[in-house]
Structure 1
Amino acid sequence: MEWYTVGLGLLGLLILFISIGLPIPFALAAASVPFLLSIQSLSTSLITAELKLWGVWVDYILLAVPLFVLLGELIGRSSIGPNLYWFMHSKVPVRGSAAYGSIGACAGFGAVCGSSMVGSLTIGGVALPEMLKLGYGKRLSSGVLAAGGTLSVLIPPSLILLFYGIVTDQSIGDLFIAGVIPGIILVSFFIIIVAIWGWLRPSDVPERDNTNPIPWGLALSAVLPVIFIGLIITVSIYTGIATPTEAAGISCVATMIMAFTVGGLRWDGFLGAIRATMQTMGYLGLLLSAGVLFGFVMTYYRVPQQFTEIFSAMELSPYLVLAIIIVFYVILGMFLEPVSMTFITLPTMYPLVAASGFDLIWFGVIYTITMELAVLTPPVGLNLYVIQALARKEITIIDVIIGCLPFIGALIVLLGLMVMIPDIALWLPSIMD
């Protein structure tokens, strides 16, 4: 069977199964089975499927995924996450402090949690009702929180960077540190957007936030754990003291202790965090396993290699190839969520990037920024619906989309800067080696 027949067949079956409502993990597996049967007998195919579906979790690095998810859930269900927002809000004595505080809290939360959706839920659940009560514009309030959640995807630890490293076999530590400077730049862009918004539309930003300042003791009980957990993750990984998995385990235990002692976490909240982590990992586990099976079939028929050879034979400019890939992901991100895109498309795309001469660590940050765009672009922008669900009676999905537009522009500008100045991502990993 020709490689292009397999490639088109896999894509066609995948689209068919998704369109009829089959969950993406099952759609990936179901699309793979007919082509698996064409190269193996039924009994052998079953064994191969079992080995691929189960064997992926033998990979030690993947143990970091549920640990980082649990870490974020523990912070979100204790008072650490909400108090982090109150600290950023009440201790910033400037006009628009609630908006700036939301960005700061999302950035701080991103430093200990790699999930965009968990970040939006945790900070947004506290900040959105407060901002609306204080008189902030609906579009500014929802936009800044939906976009702020994406900071968890870029600022390490990041689940998308973790999955990218697994698929492309790149250093997780280098990928994490490569996201630091772009993350700081993005936070700065978001702050500038809020300042300009307040200048252009002063009615959307109240002159004074009439809110009670958080006591310093309560503030420190939120800020110090986040700083401590962030240092455990970053220092242990970047100094080589621990692997990403070990760092995730240590930081998860530390978070559990602090959530119970200073975060006021109760037993029912702990059980809720465990259940939420199991639900998340049930989906991610199936998705990753099915993605490996899908990738096995593609690799057997040399679909990624042949695809790369065709593009190489066309002798396109490397930057034209990069532009095509970015546009492809931006469009695809309107219909698929980031984790699914990673396991469906990345095995085919990253060899093309490598063949074009681009650094795969640098492209990992580029890829992650496009995934941030994916969670903010309709019709399947997850963060849009997460924020709208928090204030369904007051804010429409159109309000959230319009509110996100300036922040989407900031992400596009960051992409441009990354392409023009690759050292934004590569300088920090280079001096750490």
Structure 2
Amino acid sequence: MEWYTVGIGLFVLLMGLVSIGVPIPFALAGAALPFLWSIQSFHSSVISSELQLWGVWVNYILLAIPLFVFLGELIGRSRIGADLYHFLHSGVNVRGSAAYGSIGACAGFGAVSGSSMVGSLTIGGVALSEMLRLKYDRRLASGILAAGGTLSVLLPPSLIMIYYGIVTDQSIGNLFIAGIIPGIILTSLFVVIVFIWSRVKREHVPSADGAEKLPKKRIVITLTTIGLIGFIVIASIYTGMATPTEAAAVAAVVTFVLTACFGGLTFAGFVEALKRTMLTMGYLGLLLSAGTLFGFVVTYYRIPDELTAMITAMDLSPYVILAVVIVVYIILGMFLEPVSMTFITLPTIFPLIHAAGFDLIWFGVVYTVIMEIAVLTPPVGLNLYVIQGLAKDDVTVWDVVMGSLPFIAALVLLVIGLLVIPDIALWLPEVMK
């Protein structure tokens, strides 16, 4: 079969299976198997599938993913996340301090966990009820927390960057470093949005929050835990002392010790963190395995190479190619979650981006920002439903969508900034070489 026949067939079959409600991991495998059977006997294809699937489960680099997920769950089950939020806004006599504290807490949580959904759930679980109690506008409160989770992915460590690095064979350490300045800029943009909102709609933001300050001992424990874990991950990976998997393992052990001894982690909380990690990895493991099988078929038929050659022959401007890719991803993000998109599309897209002359570390940051726009866009914006689920009686999905719009605009502005000034992402990795 011709490569374009296989490509169209894979896409149509995949979308057909997804549209009738088949879970994405099974849809990926279901779309790939008929084309695998066309090049191998049934017996050989079973063996090939087993090898591809098993290869994912024993991949050393991929072990970093469950470790980072577990780390984030430990923080979420202890009082560290809640204390970080309360520290950043309690006793601060500034209009909107709880809103600013939410952004700061999401950014701080991003330094220890790479999951957008876990970030929104952990900080949102504490901050949303508090902001509603203080009479913040429900759209502002929910929008901040839905968008705040995106900081957990742009600031290192980032699960999306790990996936991207694995698929594109790029340095995960360089990707982490490249995300720091864009993460700081995005955090600043979120703060500016809240400041403007509090001035334009003064009735949406109380004049003072009046919360009591945390005891100094808990402040020290919280800041030490967050700072130490972030330092272990970034410093050990970048200096070459540890691989991402080793850094994640050490950070997870340190997190467990600190949260158990000083952070209020109970045995029940530890067990729940293990359960949530296994549930998350049960889905991600199936998704990664099916994505690998799907990618094997795509690679066998040379679809990425042929598509790259065809588009390159059109002699299009590199920025036209990039613009098309970005628009396609934004549209796909309305219907697919980021991890699925990464393993379905990235093996085909990144050779095209590389052939167009773009730096793959830089594109990794752009890609990560676009993936975070995806978790805020309906109908399948995961963060929207996470936040709405925290206050079903007070907040509707529409409230979260409308509240997220200014923050989506900030994400789009960051993408534009990265396009105009690539050094926003590339300067720090270059300086630190």
Shift of residue 9 of structure 1? 0.6
Q: Does 1:427 align with 2:427?
A: yes
Match of 2:241 in 1: 241
Match of 2:362 in 1: 362
2:43 and 2:350 map into 1 onto residues whose CA distance is 33
Q: Does 1:80 align with 2:83?
A: no
Match of 2:327 in 1: 327
> Which amino acid is the alignment partner of residue 64 of structure 2?
A
Shift of residue 58 of structure 1? 2.6
Match of 1:272 in 2: 272
Pairwise CA RMSD: 0.7
1:248 and 1:165 map into 2 onto residues whose CA distance is 16
Q: Deviations over 1:376-396 (max 9, x none)?
A: 001100000100111111111
Shift of residue 432 of structure 1? 1.7
Q: Determine if contact 1:237/1:247 at 8 Å carries over to the other structure.
A: yes
Q: Determine if contact 2:90/2:210 at 8 Å carries over to the other structure.
A: no
TM-score for the superposition, normalised by structure 2: 0.99
Q: Deviations over 1:280-321 (max 9, x none)?
A: 001111101110110110111111111111110111110111
Task: Give the SS at the match of 2:259.
Answer: helix
Q: Deviations over 1:143-176 (max 9, x none)?
A: 0110001101100000000000000000000000
Match of 2:214 in 1: 214
Q: Determine if contact 1:92/1:101 at 8 Å carries over to the other structure.
A: no
Q: Deviations over 1:206-255 (max 9, x none)?
A: 01112222112122221210011000111111111111111000000000
1:424 and 1:98 map into 2 onto residues whose CA distance is 29
Q: Does 1:111 align with 2:111?
A: yes
| Bigger mean CA deviation after superposition, 206-215 or 228-237 | 206-215
2:55 and 2:204 map into 1 onto residues whose CA distance is 53
Task: Map 1:107-186; keep pairs closer than 5 Å.
Answer: 107-186=107-186
Q: Determine if contact 1:74/1:256 at 8 Å carries over to the other structure.
A: yes
Match of 2:48 in 1: 48
1:192 and 1:415 map into 2 onto residues whose CA distance is 17
Shift of residue 57 of structure 1? 2.6
Q: Does 1:66 align with 2:70?
A: no
> Which amino acid is the alignment partner of residue 142 of structure 1?
S
Q: Determine if contact 2:93/2:208 at 8 Å carries over to the other structure.
A: no
1:324 and 1:221 map into 2 onto residues whose CA distance is 47
Q: Deviations over 1:360-403 (max 9, x none)?
A: 00000000000010000011000001001111111111111110
Task: Give the SS at the match of 1:203.
Answer: helix
Shift of residue 56 of structure 1? 1.9
2:400 and 2:329 map into 1 onto residues whose CA distance is 22
Q: Determine if contact 1:78/1:264 at 8 Å carries over to the other structure.
A: yes
Q: Determine if contact 1:134/1:210 at 8 Å carries over to the other structure.
A: no
Shift of residue 32 of structure 1? 0.5
Q: Determine if contact 1:25/1:291 at 8 Å carries over to the other structure.
A: yes
Match of 1:386 in 2: 386
Structure 2: which 5+ residue stretches go unaligned?
A: none
1:319 and 1:204 map into 2 onto residues whose CA distance is 41
Match of 1:298 in 2: 298
> Which amino acid is the alignment partner of residue 174 of structure 1?
N
Shift of residue 93 of structure 1? 3.4
Q: Deviations over 1:33-78 (max 9, x none)?
A: 0000000011100000000011123321111000000000000000
In percent, how many aligned pairs have the same letter? 66
- Say how many residue pairs are matched: 433
TM-score for the superposition, normalised by structure 1: 0.99
Distance 1:42 1:348, change over 3 A: same
| Bigger mean CA deviation after superposition, 220-229 or 375-384 | 220-229
> Which amino acid is the alignment partner of residue 111 of structure 1?
A
Structure 1: which 5+ residue stretches go unaligned?
A: none
Q: Determine if contact 1:79/1:263 at 8 Å carries over to the other structure.
A: yes
Task: Map 1:340-359; keep pairs closer than 5 Å.
Answer: 340-359=340-359
2:210 and 2:129 map into 1 onto residues whose CA distance is 14
Task: Give the SS at the match of 2:376.
Answer: coil
Task: Give the SS at the match of 1:281.
Answer: helix
2:82 and 2:52 map into 1 onto residues whose CA distance is 40
> Which amino acid is the alignment partner of residue 336 of structure 2?
L
Task: Give the SS at the match of 1:94.
Answer: coil
2:375 and 2:216 map into 1 onto residues whose CA distance is 35
Task: Give the SS at the match of 1:287.
Answer: helix
| Bigger mean CA deviation after superposition, 327-336 or 52-61 | 52-61
Shift of residue 91 of structure 1? 5.0
